[in-house]
Structure 1
């Protein structure tokens, strides 16, 4: 069976398993002038310098939640197969200089809880208890052989 989670980044709401869950996807980058030029971010998996972007719109597969101890991703990170192509940035003396004409694939977009006000593109679940509910529900459904997708609108 297929289950669909719907996330609307504009309204900050996610519909998942009959719950209305508050979310955020605020990224700090050159567009909103909130990322300092020395706060470099690198694409996953190729490790090219990029400026982060919000979770890409579309329908993406959700995979098994992973336990995390890192305060930024604890207690769970729920991965997806979402990706997007982003411009590679030129870096000089450890600082962003300018975007290049090259692009790189950026992956590792998922769902997590965090005490930080921003993410590097993931969907932040604002309430830790909602994340725990999602991790349990997703794990149970995947173990039962179901497929879970997230449809993201921006």
Structure 2
């Protein structure tokens, strides 16, 4: 049998919970060879696997803290209400577009061959995009 290396990412929810707390939550006894004080996370994957606990919509498991924190990073703003998360996402997407347009205007030789009225519109578009980014940043600062 030839094993292959796989790599992937997925989004899931997690909350800090010791091994003992997780076992108690599931109604299980901690095995004698395991330390109930081990730090970790209750992990819920809502995009894979059949739900295995009626209190959850996804598959839950427990992960040791070192394994979990090497594998997953907190999504910025994930503790915010959905409407505020959308503002964060909009600003992140806009800032990527600003960077791409700015790069095209400043560094792409094709820009020099674009008719001057279109160059002016692209520059005006970039200015408006910058202003929108500032407004979104002010909104985010006030969350």
Q: Hey, which of these two has a bigger chunk of strand by percent?
A: 1
Structure 1 or 2: more helix by fraction:
2
Which structure has more RCO (C-alpha within 8 Å, separation ≥ 6)? 1
Query: Normalized against structure 2, the TM-score is what?
Result: 0.26
If the length of structure 1 is used for normalisation, what is the TM-score? Answer: 0.25
Larger Rg: 2
